[in-house]
């Protein structure tokens, strides 16, 4: 039996939750709907799917180099994610499986880098990259985020449950240390890799500040750089803007919808 008070608490909980969910989904819904409407209708407050999607797409194709920006984003993000996962998983594996005092000490030093705000190293990094001619290049875009203490820690924590007997058995079978990582560890730890890859992919896809500095030419513009440029003029075509924002947002959102479990694991990461 529930008391009257309990019922009120429960219904208040549901009301609160529904309100929060509406607020949470509304801007997203509005973005998608706006992409199918004409600018003036959007501003008049139209909230239903319109008929201007094709026309907005046409405008986009004729005025904005969306395809090139999409390719730049995709290329940098995929390269960055693959490299980052490789480097950080190697390190996380190494720190845990070959654990000793010196390596623990090094790990603690690396963890300090989590406290360094990116804004603080941005200027010296820019100068460094301009000296070695890495400005305006895919490599220049991805290098600063290849190795992060967060990801190393994530792989180290997840390696704790990895059975050492498996490694011993692989050694007896004649695999060298790297082969053990590549052929035994990676397949067994596939879910960990998936979680790390999703979070890294989203982070790189969405990164804005560093690309703003390092990707200087139009030719190298990634989606966030291109899309933010669309509001620069006096009048903004909101239909076009929201179509481009939607195109930029959909890949990460689809990833989120299909891989929510891995996403949550990746976000919470090493905090267990």
Partner 1 sequence: MPPVPETDTGVLSASGLPDSLRYTGNIMAGKKTLETTYKNAGWRFVMPAALFIFVLSFYPMVQAFFLSLQSGLANNLHFSGLRNYIRLFQDEKFLAAVRNVFIYLVFQVPVMLFLALILASILNDKKLKCKGLFRTMVFLPCATALVSSALIFKSIFALDGLANTWLMGLGILAEPKNWLQDPVWARIIIILTVTWRWTGYNTVFFLAGLQNIETSVYEAARIDGASPSQSFFKITLPLLKPVILLTAIMSTNGTLQLFDEVQNITAGGPGNETLTISQYIYRLSFVYNPQFGYAAAVSYTILIMVAILAFVQIKIGDKA
Instruction: Find the binding residues for partner 1 in span 252-271 (CB under 8 A).
Output: 252-253, 255-257, 260, 263-264, 267-268, 271
Q: Work out how close the CB of 190 gets to partner 1 at its nearest, in angstroms, rounded to a whole number.
A: 19
Stretch of residues binding partner 1 (CB under 8 A), selected from 62-70, 133-141, 189-197, 234-242: 234-242
From the list 58-66, 74-82, 94-102, 187-195, the region that binds partner 1 by CB under 8 A is: 94-102
Minimum CB–partner distance for residue 39 and partner 1 (Å):
9
Q: How many CB atoms lie within 10 A of CB 225?
A: 18
Q: How far is the CB of 44 from partner 1 (least distance, A)?
A: 6
**Residue 144 binds partner 1, judged by CB under 8 A:** yes
The reply on whether position 68 binds partner 1 by CB under 8 A is no
Q: Does 66 bind partner 1 (CB under 8 A)?
A: no
Q: Does 169 bind partner 1 (CB under 8 A)?
A: no
49 binds partner 1 (CB under 8 A): no
């Amino acid at each position: 039996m529930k008391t009257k008070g309990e019922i009120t608490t429960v219904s208040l909980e549901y009301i609160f939750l529904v309100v929060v969910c509406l607020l949470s989904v509304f801007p997203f819904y509005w973005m998608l709907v706006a992409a199918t409407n004409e600018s003036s209708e959007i501003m008049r407050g139209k909230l239903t799917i319109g008929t201007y999607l094709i026309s907005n797409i046409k405008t986009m194709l004729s005025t904005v180099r969306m395809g090139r920006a999409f390719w730049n984003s995709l290329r940098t993000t995929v390269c960055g994610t693959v490299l980052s996962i490789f480097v950080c998983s190697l390190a996380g594996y190494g720190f845990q499986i070959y654990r000793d005092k010196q390596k623990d000490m090094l790990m603690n030093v690396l963890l300090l880098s989590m406290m360094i705000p990116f804004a603080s190293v941005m200027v010296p990094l820019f100068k460094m990259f301009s000296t070695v001619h890495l400005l305006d290049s895919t490599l220049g875009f991805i290098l600063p985020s290849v190795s992060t203490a967060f990801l190393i820690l994530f792989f180290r924590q997840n390696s704790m449950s990895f059975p050492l007997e498996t490694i011993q058995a692989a050694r007896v079978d004649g695999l060298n240390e790297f082969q053990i990582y590549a052929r035994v560890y990676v397949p067994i730890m596939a879910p960990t890799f998936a979680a790390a890859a999703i979070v890294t992919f989203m982070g790189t896809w969405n990164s804005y500040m560093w690309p703003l500095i390092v990707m200087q030419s139009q030719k190298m513009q990634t989606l966030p750089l291109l899309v933010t440029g669309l509001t620069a003029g006096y009048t903004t075509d909101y239909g076009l803007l929201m179509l481009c924002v939607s195109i930029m947002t959909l890949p990460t959102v689809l990833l989120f919808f299909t891989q929510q479990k891995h996403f949550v694991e990746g976000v919470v990461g090493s905090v267990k």
